[in-house]
Amino acid sequence: MPNSKQSPITMDAVYTAPGYLFRRMQQIAVSIFIEECRQFDLTPVQYAALIAIHTHPGIDATRLSAVIAFDRSTLGNVIERLQSKGLIERKPDSGDKRVKLLTLTKQGASLLREIMPLVDRAQARMLQPLKPSDRKMLLALLAQLVDLNNEASRVPLRAEDALEHLGKLG
Amino acid sequence: MPNSKQSPITMDAVYTAPGYLFRRMQQIAVSIFIEECRQFDLTPVQYAALIAIHTHPGIDATRLSAVIAFDRSTLGNVIERLQSKGLIERKPDSGDKRVKLLTLTKQGASLLREIMPLVDRAQARMLQPLKPSDRKMLLALLAQLVDLNNEASRVPLRAEDALEHLGKLG
DNA sequence: CGCTAATTGACAGCATACTGACAATATGGC
DNA sequence: GCCATATTGTCAGTATGCTGTCAATTAGCG
């Protein structure tokens, strides 16, 4: 048979591309997050940072970046905004003069408790249109793919455990 | 049994959230795209715009925004960059003085032909770590979810067919 | 101890994204 | 034809994201 695949260039080159679907879904996810949490004026990135600082009190910006896999340059601005909102504090490290340690303020901890149910609702809403079994399947495949592609990203995720061992492992 | 579910707040609140996984995967996808296409200095958004302009010669910015589901304000800058690179042209509409019609230049069409194989390779790389059957499953579920959540996004996708009927349908 | 190399936070510059606003222009109902 | 309304492109402002650079500081090695 003749090769009928002479690439006619249709919009399918965009619509069916995984990268395009990931972008669209990310935008939808942010939109739903902001809508559910609008009474608190907190972004998804800021939320992740708050969770990480709560889980690792006294963490520094560089390790925070590794724990949530966000770019270090971007995180500088995020931290500044969280600080100006009074949600976190920055204190100089007693040993290393370069480092500034991050902790939640009472306001930050309080906001975190209040907003978590709303975030949970937002996360549920994103997958709502799918059947429960499909939600589970999609989430499992996605988590797997993100993990397997970890090193392909600009800022690979280095979870807490990995971080603690980094010194020993060199 | 006692309710042991007092929400201890761990990083799982971030790592297992669909929104976080969508964000990570989007970043990974962009990273792979840029790497594969680095010889052309074209972004995923610019690529999608070029495809759409090629498919709809003489489209205006507002309809372009609907066809690829990108924000109109953002698209203004994208169009300007594509124009300054010499990949597209903007000509005033003869009827409506507000409108500027978009078409590919020869350079734009040429670049599109050359870059498409690289984009295909990038798209394949994103899903590479999964088994072929899992790739198909993930893509199908993702396409379904994006479609079902279409109205939840800031800029819902209005594909070509829908667009042509918008006038008639009011 | 002293020098090189690495780390840390910060910054400049570019590219998406979204919100809200605006002037110019079109459109529809009357 | 007029006027309220809608549309189009644009802009300012804010918030991620990435690249590259920088000064200050620290760590490692000879």
- Rounded, the Å distance between the CA of B130 and C1' of D14 is 38
* Domain assignment of residue B9, yes or no: no
* Domain assignment of residue A77, yes or no: yes
| pLDDT value of position B5 | 59
Q: Is the CB of A109 under 7 A from strand C?
A: no
* Domain assignment of residue B4, yes or no: no
Q: Which residue has the higher pLDDT, A151 or B28?
A: B28
Residue A168's pLDDT band (boundaries 50, 70, 90)?
A: very low
Which residues, 6+ apart, have CB-to-CB distance to B138 below 8 Å?
A138, A141, A142, A145, B127, B130
Residue A156's pLDDT band (boundaries 50, 70, 90)?
A: confident
A22 neighbors B27 (Cβ within 8 angstroms): no
Burial code (b: 16+ CB inside 10 Å, e: under 16) for A150-159 equals bebbebebbe
| pLDDT value of position A167 | 37
- Find and give the residue nearest to D9, measured CA to C1': B98
Which residues, 6+ apart, have CB-to-CB distance to A17 below 8 Å?
B119, B123
Q: For the segment A32-61, what is each residue's pLDDT rounded down to a tens digit?
A: 999 999 999 999 999 999 999 999 999 999
pLDDT at A169 > cutoff 60: no
- On the CB side of B69, CA atoms within 13 Å amount to 24
How many domains does chain B fold into?
1
* Domain assignment of residue B142, yes or no: no
Read off the CATH number of the domain in which A36 is found: 1.10.10.10
Q: For the segment A92-148, what is each residue's pLDDT rounded down to a tens digit?
A: 998 899 999 999 999 999 999 999 999 999 999 999 999 999 999 999 999 999 999
Strand C and chain B: which residues 54-113 have CB closer than 7 Å?
A: 70-71, 73-74, 77-78, 81, 95-98
Q: Which nucleotides of chain C does any protein CB come within 7 A of? A: 7-13, 15-21, 24-27
**Cβ separation of B149 and A141 shorter than 8 Å?**
no
Entry pTM: 0.91
* Domain assignment of residue A3, yes or no: no
* Domain assignment of residue B1, yes or no: no
- Please tell me the distance from the alpha carbon of residue B63 to that of residue A160, in angstroms, as a whole number: 46
pLDDT at B64 > cutoff 60: yes
Q: Does A50 touch chain B (CB under 8 A)?
A: no
* Domain assignment of residue B25, yes or no: no
Q: Which residue has the higher pLDDT, A152 or B144?
A: B144
* Domain assignment of residue A11, yes or no: no
Range of the domain at A44: 19-162
Q: Does B115 touch chain A (CB under 8 A)?
A: no
- Rounded, the Å distance between the CA of A163 and C1' of D23 is 27
SS3 letters for chain A?
Answer: CCCCCCCCCCCHHHHCCHHHHHHHHHHHHHHHHHHHCHHHCCCHHHHHHHHHHHHCCCEEHHHHHHHHCCCHHHHHHHHHHHHHCCCEEEEECCCCCCCEEEEECHHHHHHHHHHHHHHHHHHHHHHCCCCHHHHHHHHHHHHHHHHHCHHHCCCCCCCHHHHHHHHHHC
Residue A89's pLDDT band (boundaries 50, 70, 90)?
A: very high
User: What is the mean pLDDT of the segment spanning B91-110?
Assistant: 95
